[in-house]
Amino acid sequence: MRSQAMYFKVRAGDKLADRLLQQNLAKARSKFVDARAAAVAAYDGDFEALRSAGQGIRDRVLENLDLWLETFEERARARGAEVLYARDGEEICRLVTGIAQRHGVTKAVKSKSMLSEEAGLNAALTAVGVQPVETDLGEYIQQIDDNEPPSHILAPAFHKSREQVADLFARAHGKPRKTDIPEMTREAREVLREHFLSAGMGISGGNFLIAETGSVALVTNEGNGRMVTTLPDVHVVITGIEKIVPRLEDLATLMRLLPRSGTGQDISNYVSVLTGVKGEGDRDGPSHLYVILVDNGRASLVGSEFQDMLRCIRCGACMNHCPVYQTVGGHAYGWVYPGPMGAVLTPLFTGLGNALDLPHAATLCNQCGVVCPVRIPLPELLRRLRQRQVEAGLRPRGERIGMRAWAWLARRPRLYRLATRLVVRYLNWLAEGADRIRVMGVAPEWTAERDFPAPQGRTFHELYAQRRRTGEE
Amino acid sequence: MRVGLFVTCLVDLLRPGIGFGALRLLEAAGCDVVVPGGQTCCGQPAFNAGDTASARALATRVIDQFEGLDYLVAPSGSCAGMIKVHFPELFGEDERMRVRALALADRTFELTDFLVKFGGELQPPGDFRGTVTYHDSCSGLRELGIKRQPRQLLGRMAGVDLVEMAGCEECCGFGGMFSVKYPDVSAAITDRKCGQVSVTGADAVVLGDLGCMLAIEGRLRRLGDERTRVLHVAEVLAGEDC
């Protein structure tokens, strides 16, 4: 997917001006937040200890990622899977289209895979004559809406209202418009069933890879994942190299965290652990299983100051709780991953200079950090990205000089006192006797949207010195 | 005990009354309060902008100024959080400075936190009468665990009636330079906060950080709310005549 992350500021402005989107976001805003809070409150153990356990599992894997990958590879191969590595999105596309062509596939059904979004896989499949059909309901809605990218990693059509989906269905299905949600999902299910039965290949993501068994774990809510992974004769898994967990038992721990943190469910409707190809005498399952393990920037984070980010289990809690995401939605971020995790991953995966706004598009409120199931210090990572921008000379000249000049002044208290006295007097002059400033020439950005409370009159240090002199204090 | 008052740059500049309020409260709690004359800013703006060199230089100054005192107290969760949590991080490779930063961090407190821990049964001298709602600022709440402390102190005031707002722990949208870089997004976030404040019908929204105050008061007034007062917790506790 081509990144538009450079245009965050403009895109965010457009999203704020989009009244329909703002209505939809206002309705959806608290849904996952409230659900998580309820699920955590109802958890019959120590959720904070669970978060630490989750962090521990993920950290252990990342310490020896190469060894765990080898173990996974060996065990998966023993069960008949073919394990492939993809360096980047282009290589994902090349491998998947190659597999499709080898098996004479003309239609592929897909369950959710953010990696395929990173690669722009659907366009690549279409180009070689393979029809990709998204079967996750949200992804399907996005696909029939002229392939609009998802705006949320769990709920791709998070930004759409029921009314908008009703219009899309009526147009795409050529049937009478429905607004009753069970009726709408039934209609989608009928359309998708035909695709499940006629597809030659299934493509899925993988939430976790279990090293000791060589299995792929899938966490879904709609059951489409099971159809995609068992009906077609060929199944392709595309997932990141960091998704490994050592043992099946670790999956149990992470599964206590993932649905509670993301959607607020105790457990997702479906949890599938897929191991190898169809065995002799098995009636279901693919004859061919390919697991594509993707780097696309991940390996470079191992051992770096950004390694913590690789713990991410893609629950979406950070974006659900982010005041910025809640305000502008996922599309403003301009690439595959929105919200705080996207603001960290996008510059790391697509280049620091290609996403200059994103690390700054956060208030550093740390709401993301306190809900992250694997304790990723997201604000700290955003701050480190800001530091890297400064070091690489990527910040605007005015900003750099301004910051240094201010810091220079703040190291010289006498000069600083003089300057602050002047500033206070200037601000009071601007306020013209009122308790606020409506237009501030030196910081017009501030008074574009808000008033600036006028200073009380003198600086604290000025008054303090005065009071000390008069012996009042 | 000798307490160094870290006034904070925004209080110094915009609402000195908050600084004098903090002074009155600390003295009422029996502290010997010192205001080190060379203090300016804790360096947080530079730190958050990614200018580590400037942040380190300013952090060093704060350490120089305050390390001889028993405690450092600041009427701001965000500045106290900077000193307590981030100063030691800043000197990761400089062991000598890191040790000094850690020593100061141990003795650094946000004002209400300090008053609850060391102020005994301090009766706040303020005479505020009316309903208030409390906005938990992000750094204070999530870096320092400031939540019950201001409420506990306000609860000792006979005239103060606390009504909690929905979403009191949600960000006000300030975010330092964020509010200047993305004023429209920032204001849209503040609008939700303003709405939550208004629903309570409180006479004042009380908070512990100047940044939040600028964001909320600035937006309330721009939206035409002339009634709801925006007060620092020190102003309520100490009285506004400081």
pLDDT tens track for B3-31: 999 999 999 999 999 999 999 999 999 99
Residue A402 carries which side chain, given as an amino acid letter?
Answer: G
* A98 domain residue, yes or no: yes
Kindly report, residue by residue over B182-203, the tens digit of the pLDDT.
Answer: 999 999 999 999 999 999 999 9
Evaluated on CA atoms A297, A302, A303, A307, the torsion sign reads positive
Under a CB-based contact definition with an 8 Å cutoff, are residues B204 and B231 in contact? yes
Evaluated on CA atoms A102, A103, A108, A112, the torsion sign reads negative
A91 and A196 share a domain?
Answer: yes
pLDDT tops 80 at residue B124? yes
| R_g of chain A, CA atoms, integer Å | 26
Contacts of B52 in chain A (CB under 8 A): 387, 390
- Interface A-B: count of C-beta contacts within 8 A: 187
A48 and A33 share a domain?
Answer: no
A213 and A165 share a domain?
Answer: yes
Show Cβ contacts of residue B175 under 8 Å, excluding neighbours closer than 6 positions: A362, A363, A364, A365, B186, B211
- Name the residue range of residue A218's domain: 43-300
**Burial (Cβ within 10 Å: 0-12, 13-18, ≥19) of residue B217:** buried
Nearest Cβ partner of B180 from A323, A407, A445? A445
Residue B92 binned pLDDT confidence (cut-offs 50, 70, 90): confident
With a cut of 50, list the residues of chain A below it in pLDDT: 473
Q: In what order do the strands lie in the sheet with B160-162?
A: B160-162, B130-134, B204-207, B229-232
Give dist(CA A93, CA A124) in Å, integer: 6
Q: Does residue B136 sit at the A interface (CB-CB below 8 Å)? A: no
Contacts of A356 in chain B (CB under 8 A): none
Q: What is the mean pLDDT of chain B?
A: 97
pTM of the model: 0.97
| R_g of chain B, CA atoms, integer Å | 17
A189 and A216 share a domain?
Answer: yes
Mark which residues 183-222 of B lie under 8 Å from A by CB: 183-190, 213-215, 217-219, 221-222
- CATH code of the domain occupying B130-238: 3.40.50.11810
A262 and A328 share a domain?
Answer: no
Residue A330: what pLDDT? 98
pLDDT tops 80 at residue B237? yes
Residue A472: what pLDDT? 54
Contacts of B222 in chain A (CB under 8 A): 449-451
Contacts of B221 in chain A (CB under 8 A): 436, 450-451, 453
| Token couple for A350 | 């697509």
Residue A284: what pLDDT? 87
Q: Does residue B39 sit at the A interface (CB-CB below 8 Å)? A: yes
Nearest Cβ partner of A364 from B48, B182, B184? B48
The CATH label, of 3.40.50, 3.10.450, 2.160.10, 3.40.720, for the domain at B2-118 is: 3.40.50
A178 and A246 share a domain?
Answer: yes
Kindly report, residue by residue over B22-61, the tens digit of the pLDDT.
Answer: 999 999 999 999 999 999 999 999 999 999 999 999 999 9
Number of structural domains, chain A? 3
A189 and A131 share a domain?
Answer: yes
* Three-class secondary structure of residue B118 per DSSP: helix
Give dist(CA B211, CA B95) in Å, integer: 32
Residue A424: what pLDDT? 95
* A315 domain residue, yes or no: no
Residue range(s) in chain B whose domain bears CATH number 3.40.50.11810: 130-238
Continuous segment of H or E residues that includes residue A144: helix A137-144
A353 and A380 share a domain?
Answer: yes
Q: How far is CA A246 from CA A212, A217, A271, in A?
A: 6, 13, 18
A100 and A130 share a domain?
Answer: yes
